[in-house]
Structure 1
């Protein structure tokens, strides 16, 4: 994995383990998660945990988001990634995007913005 701050690394590592608790623990208690940008944000670690658990339940299994490149500037990190999973019927699903993370003073994610083409993901889930 590319070098990145610990909380951002935990975000991606937990996605590979399909561990909603560990994934949400990368976020500050009052974090905001735009997934994807353009939809209403998920606010607060508890709500983010529920959101992630809901996403994970739609796949069997969720194989994770694999970071390809990470670029850090101060308390902001931009990461390009590739996602993969299987539907409950065994169909592969692949998509990619970029997340931009802003970290708080403790190094936790205070805001995350996910940029990906949701239509590409939906089309694979519908076919």
Structure 2
């Protein structure tokens, strides 16, 4: 599947998720970037905290297959992307979820703020025994 056209940092956000590369994923954010994952939870502030968060999630799966963009819509420095996520739990169960992320890009083209909209209860239910 070809990724939809979107700004470089957002395209790299998805590519890094698919590689399970926490460093490359966090590097798509500005130093003082903000990540709401998901919206409604406490925001993760700063690239290093974002990196630590991502690095804590990826090893919980075997493997973490990442997020695949489906559609992207860009207006100025705002980008909305619908996506599908997939992973395999450590006990071998498939985990699939989907959502929409809204990105605000900074002047340098990196992500200043990302808001992830998805149903965390559906995600968590797939991990429960």
CA distance in 1, matches of 2:17, 2:7: 16
Number of aligned residue pairs: 127
Q: Could you tell me which residue of structure 2 aligns to residue 69 of structure 1?
A: 71
Distance 2:31 2:24 in 1: 13
Please report how far the alpha carbon of residue 57 of structure 1 lies from its aligned counterpart in structure 2 after TM superposition: 1.4
Deviation of 1:89 after TM superposition, in Å, equals: 1.1
User: Runs of 4 or more off by more than 3 Å in structure 1?
Assistant: none
The TM-score normalised by the length of structure 1 is: 0.99
- Structure 2 regions of 5+ residues with no counterpart? none
Select 1:119's aligned residue among 110, 116, 121: 121
Q: Deviation digits for residues 50-107 of structure 1, max 9, x if unmatched?
A: 0001110111110010000000000000000000000011110000000000000000
After superposition, the C-alpha distances for 1:9-57 in whole angstroms (9 at most, x for unaligned) are: 0000000000000000100000000000000000000000000011101
The answer for the alignment partner of 2:61 in structure 1 is: 59
Matches within 5 A, 1:77-96: 77-96=79-98
CA distance in 2, matches of 1:16, 1:122: 20
Q: Secondary structure at the match of 1:63?
A: strand
The 5-angstrom pairing of residues 39-50 of structure 1 reads 39-50=41-52
**TM-score of the aligned structures, taking structure 2 as reference length:** 0.97
The residue correspondences of 1:5-20 to structure 2 (distance < 5 A) are 5-20=7-22
Unmatched segments (≥5 aa) in structure 1? none
Structural RMSD (CA): 0.5
